[in-house]
Chain A
């Protein structure tokens, strides 16, 4: 591990933090968009290194978190069917729906399988021609090329018994929705590195000028995040609003063209509901009509499921940077990773789960105990 030092070096981190302190004159609120960045910030305590009036707020970029409860219930309804082999990435297995999770369904005899790559579903489908193989296609732009390839190959190779349940979301419309909200506090963004490895960052440019907001595409390692924060503050302090690329060692403005091409041949832009936030226009993908035979929602015709989130949960405000996990009276008490009440607690990359995992609930425990008392033990 001879190369580690440069990006983990405390001296370099100190230098960046000193530079932030030197140039910063006003309070700023900066949002990191990606769940991986949130996890890294909380784990490494990067927010504690920054000046007190530079606040990092945590964005909506955790795909498991923002998958709507109705969609999870739909997935479960399909997974329970005897003719179905239901395939998913591992991190969806423990996400609770209105009744249980995919693990429960598996333990009750459902054929639920974790796959590494969506392409695994083709192998499973060919081996089980009498079964219907359904893949739970969730995720942001990073995952879309893999899911698009599954559908494209299924059609090309003539594998009729494979379909996907699509819950795909896109980063730029969520940033626009945050900026358009009258309650918005966010003044600059750390853009999502691996999403932009696919998409490039061209599409962020009109948004940056329209809303007059700096967007710095940033990696997820500690020094990346500090450097991205410095670049954002430098723009804010000098009145600039541009898209900059902190992560140029991984990505460029154009992104991965072959991936973009296949994605747009399989998917088209659609309105999508985001857990905690609600419907954002043109914020996700649906399968193009040509691929309707591989669209699980059409094939299984699962009726609309009415779900209700606990009223106490403030994850919608957390995902938009209006509040922090500590502001929630249920955080770490009624709501834990074992018994999550809402979006930001259901995945390790969610802000609440990250705060909980790294002991940040303990600090506020006393106030929370008081809050729970006030709430009269709502369970």
Chain B
């Protein structure tokens, strides 16, 4: 679980004062926090660990690493449920 997954930044936005991005990993898009990589631009590739971009990579490295992680079955965290912003009382579980 200490391995970070490379993905492509497809959108950036602010959320409650945090610099955030949508990052594409293969066919999955997830949110990632950019606070630790504040200079990141749309179209760049970043290594993301538990929802945080920690390092920048180039496209070639991103593809290679992604494939290596797939080989090692280390991409399952991307399938974790998406938690949306909810109003109090809206969380029906």
| A pairs with B | yes
Determine if B35 is an interface residue (Cβ-Cβ < 8 Å).
Answer: yes
- Given known A4-B67, A116-B77, contact A89–B50 (CB-CB < 8 A): yes
Q: Is the CB of A116 within 8 A of B88?
A: no
Contacts of A39 in B (CB 8 A): 72, 74
Q: Is the CB of B1 within 8 A of A197?
A: no
Q: How far is the CB of B72 from chain A (nearest CB, A)?
A: 5
Determine if A316 is an interface residue (Cβ-Cβ < 8 Å).
Answer: no
Name A115's contact: one of B18, B64, B67, B80 (CB within 8 Å): B80
Q: How far is the CB of B65 from chain A (nearest CB, A)?
A: 7
Contacts of B77 in A (CB 8 A): 89-90, 116
Known A149-B35, A221-B68; 14 more pairs at CB < 8 Å = A3-B64, A8-B68, A63-B1, A63-B2, A113-B93, A115-B80, A116-B80, A126-B85, A127-B89, A143-B1, A145-B54, A149-B33, A250-B47, A256-B37
Contacts of B31 in A (CB 8 A): 117
Q: Is the CB of A146 within 8 A of B50?
A: yes
Which residues in chain A, 123-154, are within 8 Å of chain B measured between CB atoms?
Answer: 123-124, 126-129, 139-140, 142-143, 145-146, 149, 153
Nearest chain-B residue to A2 (Cβ)?
B63
Q: How far is the CB of A32 from chain B (nearest CB, A)?
A: 12
Q: How far is the CB of B54 from chain A (nearest CB, A)?
A: 5
- Given known A123-B85, A143-B1, A195-B2, contact A36–B67 (CB-CB < 8 A): no
In the complex, A39→B50 CA distance in Å?
19
Q: Is the CB of A120 within 8 A of B72?
A: no
Determine if B29 is an interface residue (Cβ-Cβ < 8 Å).
Answer: no
Name B33's contact: one of A7, A119, A127 (CB within 8 Å): A119
Contact with A along B25-65 (1 / 0, CB 8 A): 00000111101111000000001011110110111110111
Contacts of B74 in A (CB 8 A): 36, 39
Q: Is the CB of A40 within 8 A of B83?
A: no
Closest 8 A/B residue pairs (Cβ): A117-B51, A127-B86, A116-B80, A120-B83, A3-B60, A127-B91, A259-B36, A36-B3
Q: Is the CB of B88 within 8 A of A139?
A: no
In terms of DSSP, what is the predominant structure of the interface of chain B?
Answer: loop
Determine if A34 is an interface residue (Cβ-Cβ < 8 Å).
Answer: yes
Q: Is the CB of B54 within 8 A of A198?
A: yes
Contacts of A249 in B (CB 8 A): 57-58, 61
Can you spell out 23 A-B residue pairs with CB atoms less than 8 angstroms apart? A1-B67, A8-B64, A36-B72, A36-B74, A40-B72, A63-B2, A64-B1, A116-B83, A120-B83, A123-B83, A124-B86, A126-B86, A126-B88, A127-B86, A127-B90, A128-B91, A145-B54, A146-B49, A153-B18, A220-B68, A221-B65, A249-B61, A258-B35
Determine if A324 is an interface residue (Cβ-Cβ < 8 Å).
Answer: no
Interface size class of B (residues with CB under 8 A): 35 or more
In the complex, A220→B47 CA distance in Å?
14
Report which A residues bind B (CB closer than 8 A): 1-4, 6-8, 34-36, 39-40, 43, 61, 63-64, 89-91, 111, 113-120, 123-124, 126-129, 139-140, 142-143, 145-146, 149, 153, 157, 192, 194-195, 197-198, 220-222, 249-251, 256, 258-259, 262, 347-349
Q: How far is the CB of B83 from chain A (nearest CB, A)?
A: 4
Determine if B4 is an interface residue (Cβ-Cβ < 8 Å).
Answer: yes
Contacts of A113 in B (CB 8 A): 81, 93
In the complex, A249→B62 CA distance in Å?
11
In the complex, A157→B47 CA distance in Å?
27
In the complex, A192→B76 CA distance in Å?
21
Contact with A along B1-29 (1 / 0, CB 8 A): 11110000000000010100000000000
Nearest chain-B residue to A171 (Cβ)?
B2
- Given known A64-B1, A91-B1, contact A114–B80 (CB-CB < 8 A): yes
In the complex, A120→B30 CA distance in Å?
12
Contacts of B18 in A (CB 8 A): 119, 153
In the complex, A197→B52 CA distance in Å?
12
Contacts of B76 in A (CB 8 A): 90
Contacts of B73 in A (CB 8 A): 348
In the complex, A349→B1 CA distance in Å?
8
In the complex, A124→B38 CA distance in Å?
26
